[in-house]
Amino acid sequence: MKLKTILEQYQNPQMRLAVRNIRNRAIIESKVPQSGAYWWLPTPDGKWELDVYYDSEFRGNTMHDIMWTKYVLDRLSILWNKDPAKLKRAVGDNYAGLPRGRVGKIMGGFVLSHGDDAPIKNGPKKVLAAFNLSGLVRTDSKKVRVAVDEHETMLAGDPEAVQKALQADLGLKGNDMALDFEYDEDDYDAEY
């Protein structure tokens, strides 16, 4: 039974977190390379925890916006002892409010895409370990790539919304991702 199905049976965020922790531990112990999404979650004592969502457990549907509203905000509410419903209302769909990234399968290997904003030293190395890719890096480093991806950076306004809801200055700043579409008039065809 997939984790997503199990989690739907529980209304209590703490129970869902306990089940996820058990399943995640089993996946780590399996040593099977994984893909999926992750976030770095702050704790009130100033530390950061890695929060992972494996594609194998969520049928490949670990889109950041979906995981954020369904699971990440629950975990954040537990860490910060906040009411989950109030936190969800305060933060909303600002899923780019904390450092995050994705591990994806590519031809014959994996790529770790991140926004180059991990709040801890050796962040990518810890992500690779959490997705069971450290051994693969040691045996064939060509099978695992680590790449900065601007689509994984925190967006302006999102970190500020999270910090306001947590009532804490985490030192996070979002980036303005101004899209630069350069074209000249010859590239534009007005006829449809």
Q: Is the pLDDT of residue 25 over 60?
A: yes
pTM above 0.95, yes or no: no
Q: pLDDT higher for 74 or 16?
A: 74
Q: What pLDDT score does 186 carry?
A: 47
Q: What pLDDT score does 158 carry?
A: 96
Q: pLDDT higher for 9 or 80?
A: 80
DSSP letters, 126-149, are HHHHHTT-HHHHHH-GGGEEEEE-
Q: What pLDDT score does 1 carry?
A: 67
Q: Give the Cα separation of 41 and 52 in Å (integer).
A: 10
- Which of 13-17, 100-104, 181-185 shows the lowest mean pLDDT across its residues? 181-185
Q: What pLDDT score does 177 carry?
A: 67
Beta carbons within 8 Å of 85's beta carbon, 6+ residues apart: none
Share of the chain above pLDDT 70, in %: 90
Length of the chain: 192
Report whether 68 contacts 162 (CB < 8 A).
no
Half-sphere exposure of 26 (CA within 13 A, CB side): 10
Taking alpha carbons only, the member of 66, 97, 75, 85 closest to residue 168 is: 97
Q: What average pLDDT does the chain have?
A: 87
Beta carbons within 8 Å of 34's beta carbon, 6+ residues apart: 27, 54, 55, 56, 103, 131, 132, 133
Residue 157 CB neighbour total at 10 angstroms: 12
Rounded mean pLDDT, 40-55: 97
- Read off the pLDDT band of 185 (50, 70, 90): very low
